[in-house]
A and B are shown apart, each in its own frame.
Chain A
Amino acid sequence: MDSAIAVLEWLKHAFEYVGGAQDEPPAGFPVRLRHWWFWALWWAALGLAIYVFSGQSSKFIYIDF
């Protein structure tokens, strides 16, 4: 169970790193994925996703609070 939790913790940290919420990657994060080309590709992928889905944009729920 401890190892399963450790894996989940690692994944959480890795997701937060690629999502911009953590400054440092978790230990053991592939070195290749820290290079500038990874971030260029990642930003392009995010930009593409935004472009594909942006047509249906609606108001943020908490704006009206």
Chain B
Amino acid sequence: MIFNSWDYYLLFLIPSAILCRLATPERRPWVIFLSGGLFFTYFSYTQFGGVVGAACLGIFLWESLVSRFYKPASWVCWFGVTQTVLFLVLFKYRNFLTGLVWRDAARNPLYWKHAFLPLGISFFTFEFLHYAVDRYKNRTEEGSVAEYMAFILFFPTMVAGPIKRYQDFLPKLRAISREWVVDWQRGATRILTGLVKKFGVADVLTAYTNHLNAADIARAWRPMLLVWLFAYGIKIYADFSAYSDIAIGSARLFGIRVPENFDWPYLRTNITEFWRHWHMSLTNWLIDYIYIPLGGSRRAGGRVYANILVTFLVSGIWHGAGVNFIVWGMLHGVMLVIRRMWRRVRPLPAGGPPPMWSQLGSWMLTYAGVNLAWAFFCMDVHTASYFFRRLFVG
């Protein structure tokens, strides 16, 4: 729950934001660190793994300690990268990966029966990796230990982003906005809008998306299948953009602006533009830390396509420990490759935008492609395949 609970607002957000604004600049990072630590402990203990989940606060403290040894071109940075990836694999992928070897969980000696995900692990992993790599490449300053802990434990963005960058966060932390009235008016409006999106749109659509299971798919009137899937497309957008609205609005109460995550992605007329406007902080992270290190667009055609596919394979795996997420990521990778190939065959016309009918067709194609791909996001491979068989064959 978190962002849609009273605990979040009354125990954490409002007191912490006020304290942070009243604190002196030297004490401000400590206020953010302490409130983030309490936030993590409270919600982990009550909702994510109990005592063991709360003890995962140790991951942040350990990372903060190790990060003090990150220097440009130092091997410690790679140690940090390795341990961060190992934490993620241990908690998120252990049962999935060992399950590929031992299909029967009862016979799997490495099966973790009480597996749980530490609160926000998929997101704080990205921030840990970013800092380690950027320190190695000397793209960011070290900052004090309190500033680094404030960065990784800034609770409005800790659980599900937007994914921040240290070099972007640090100046804002050091010079917090003093425009109390504007920040609180804008921040509160953003939070309320996010809550309406979540309760009034995303949750309402659950009545349709709950039918995306094998039993209901078998009984459904075929056109309804499309309605359910497209409802899921709207639901996931409303849900995640609502989450981002609340996170960004919450950060604004502290006087800190964090990156935007969505910019009307469903209005985009091609898949490349869609990804530039959907979960933008993740897309930018994947471009900077996966796609560009692989060579980006500077290599020969085939290699660029491979780079795109690998980047979206990582995106798919990151989204969940399941084959369906890999298929979903690869579908997007393939759509991006096809779009790139198409642009090589048919470059954009010079001297102005394409005609309206062409843009409308591109938009419909993009919207349909993205929404059909959601099938592999919200259902396992077997059910999603059955969904498409029912939809197209009968």
Which A residues form the contact surface with B (CB < 8 A)? 1, 12, 18-21, 23, 39, 42-43, 46-47, 49-50, 52-54, 56-65
Contacts and interface: CB of A to CB of B under 8 A. Distances in A.
B122 interface: yes
Query: Sorted from nearest, which 7 A-B pairs have the closest CB atoms?
Result: A20-B190, A20-B189, A53-B199, A46-B192, A62-B160, A19-B193, A65-B122
Contact of B196 (A50, A59, A64): A50
B243 A58 contact: no
Contacts of A47: 192
Contacts of A42: 189
Interface string B240-254: 101101001100000
B68 to A, nearest CB: 29
B248 to A, nearest CB: 8
Contact of B239 (A18, A39, A61): A61
Contacts of A49: 196, 199-200
Contacts of A61: 236, 239-240
Interface string B213-249: 0000000000000000000000010011011010011
Interface stretch (B105-113, B148-156, B179-187, B385-393): B179-187
Contacts of B320: 65
Given A53-B200, A56-B203, A57-B203, A62 B195 contact: no
Contacts of B206: 56, 58
Please classify the interface of chain A as helix (H, G, I), strand (E, B), loop, or mixed, using the class held by over half of its residues. Answer: helix
Interface string B119-161: 0001100000000000000000000000000000000000111
B239 A60 contact: yes
Contact of A20 (B200, B243, B249, B318): B249
B300 interface: no
A59 to B, nearest CB: 6
A60 B160 contact: yes
Contact of B3 (A12, A20, A46, A60): A60
A50 B189 CA distance: 13
A52 B195 CA distance: 12
29 contacts: A12-B264, A19-B245, A20-B189, A20-B191, A20-B192, A21-B248, A21-B260, A23-B186, A43-B188, A43-B192, A46-B193, A46-B195, A46-B196, A49-B199, A50-B192, A50-B200, A53-B196, A53-B203, A56-B203, A57-B198, A57-B203, A58-B206, A59-B1, A60-B160, A60-B239, A60-B240, A61-B236, A63-B2, A65-B319
A13 B242 CA distance: 18
A65 B192 CA distance: 24
Contacts of A12: 264
Given A62-B161, A65-B160, 14 more contacts: A19-B245, A20-B249, A43-B188, A46-B192, A46-B193, A50-B200, A57-B203, A58-B203, A60-B3, A60-B239, A60-B240, A63-B2, A63-B243, A65-B318
B220 to A, nearest CB: 22
Contacts of B55: none
Contact of B240 (A18, A21, A62): A62
Contacts of A60: 2-4, 160, 198, 239-240, 242-243
A47 B187 CA distance: 15
A61 to B, nearest CB: 5
A49 B239 CA distance: 16
Interface centre among B117, B199, B248 (most CB of A within 10 A): B199
Interface centre among A18, A42, A61, A65 (most CB of B within 10 A): A65
Contacts of A1: 356
B365 interface: no
A64 B240 contact: no
